[in-house]
C-alpha cells in the first residue's frame, strides 16, 4: 500500500506582514511544504489583504509552491497577474466566477495548477463536469474572510465526498482543507481524506513554527492510509 503524502501549507494571513520575507523563509525552514496565500477583496469577502505585488515580493524568498487562494469577484482579470508574480497553484470560489470552466482553463493556460474552493454552504456539484481541469479541491472548514475562526466539523463530510470523487476520477488531485486546522483536529481531516492542510493562526501565533509543524506531522503519522 502506498502511503499518502501529506502537505502542510501555512497561511501567511496570520504572519507578520511587516517582516513577510523573513516569515516565509522561517516557516519553510520549519518544514512547510507550500505557502498558502489568501487574497481578499472587500467584495466577495468582507476583508482586504494582499495581491500580486506581494506574491512577487515573496517569490524569491522560497522554493516551495505558492498556493494562491482567490477570495475575489470577479476572478479572471487578476489570474495572469498572479501567474506572472510566481504563483504555482490558483484556486477560486465557483460563486465568484460567471464561467467556471473558462476560469479553470485560464489558470492552466497561465501555467498554473487550478482548483475550486467550496465554502461550508457550497454544494459540490460544481465539480461534476470540470474534473478533467482540476488539480486541487479546497474544502473550507470556516467561512472565508478571516483567520483564527473555529473549525466547522461538517466540513469532514465534504472532505469524504471529495476524496471519493477524486479516487473515482483516477486523477492526481490535491485535497486541501482550510480553516481552523490545529494539531488536535488535523488527524480527523486526514482520516476523512484531506492530504493538504492550511494552517494560519495555529502556526504563526506560536513562537516556534517547527514545533507546531512537527506536532502536526506526528498526528498525520498516525493516519492509517
Ligand atoms: C480564511 C482563509 C484561511 C485562513 C486560515 O478565509 O482562507 O486560509 O488564513 O486561518 P486559520 O488557520 O487561522 O483558520
Ligand atoms: Zn485560504
- Cell digits for 138? 479546497
Active site residue 109: no
pLDDT-derived band at 1 (thresholds 50, 70, 90) equals low
Cβ neighbours, 10 Å, residue 6: 18
Q: Is the CB of 10 under 6 A from ligand 1?
A: no
- Cell digits for 191? 482520516
pLDDT tens sequence across 6-56: 999 999 999 999 999 999 999 999 999 999 999 999 999 999 999 999 999
Residue 2 pLDDT > 70, yes or no?
no
More confidently predicted of 1 and 148: 148
Q: Is the CB of 72 under 6 A from ligand 1?
A: no
Q: Is the CB of 9 under 6 A from ligand 1?
A: no
Q: What's the average model confidence in pLDDT over 183-197?
A: 98
Please pick, among 38, 67, 135, 195, the residue that the annotation labels catalytic: 38
Q: Of the ligands numbered here, which is closest to the C-alpha atom of 144?
A: 1
Q: Is the CB of 52 under 6 A from ligand 1?
A: no
Hey, what domains does the chain have and what are their CATH numbers?
3-220 (3.20.20.70)
Residue 73, CA distances (Å) to 14, 44, 92 in order: 23, 5, 9
Residue with the smallest CA separation from ligand 1 atom 4 is 147
Burial of 144 from C-beta contacts in 10 A (0-12 / 13-18 / 19+): buried
Residue 83 pLDDT > 60, yes or no?
yes
> What confidence score (pLDDT) does residue 3 get?
81
pTM tops 0.85: yes
Amino acid at each position: 500500500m502506498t502511503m499518502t503524502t501529506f502537505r502542510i501549507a501555512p497561511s501567511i494571513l496570520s504572519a507578520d506582514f511587516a517582516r513577510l520575507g523573513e516569515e516565509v523563509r522561517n516557516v519553510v525552514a520549519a518544514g512547510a511544504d507550500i505557502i498558502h496565500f489568501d487574497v481578499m477583496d472587500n467584495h466577495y469577502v468582507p476583508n482586504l489583504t494582499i495581491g500580486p505585488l506581494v506574491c512577487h515580493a515573496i517569490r524569491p524568498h522560497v522554493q516551495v509552491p505558492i498556493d494562491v487562494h482567490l477570495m475575489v469577484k470577479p476572478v479572471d482579470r487578476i489570474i495572469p497577474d498572479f501567474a506572472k508574480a510566481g504563483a504555482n497553484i490558483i484556486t477560486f470560489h465557483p460563486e465568484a466566477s460567471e464561467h467556471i470552466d473558462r476560469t479553470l482553463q485560464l489558470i492552466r493556460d497561465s501555467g498554473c495548477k487550478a482548483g475550486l474552493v467550496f465554502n461550508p454552504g457550497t454544494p459540490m456539484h460544481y465539480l461534476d463536469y470540470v474534473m478533467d481541469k482540476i488539480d486541487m479541491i479546497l474544502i473550507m472548514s470556516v467561512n472565508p474572510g478571516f483567520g483564527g475562526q473555529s473549525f466547522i466539523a461538517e466540513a469532514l463530510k465534504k472532505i469524504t465526498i471529495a476524496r471519493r470523487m477524486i479516487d473515482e476520477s483516477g486523477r492526481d488531485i490535491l485535497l486541501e482543507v482550510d480553516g481552523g486546522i490545529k494539531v488536535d483536529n488535523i488527524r480527523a481531516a486526514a482520516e476523512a481524506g484531506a492530504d493538504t492542510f492550511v494552517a494560519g493562526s495555529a502556526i504563526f501565533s506560536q513562537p516556534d513554527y517547527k514545533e507546531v509543524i512537527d506536532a502536526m506531522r506526528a498526528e498525520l503519522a498516525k493516519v492509517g492510509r
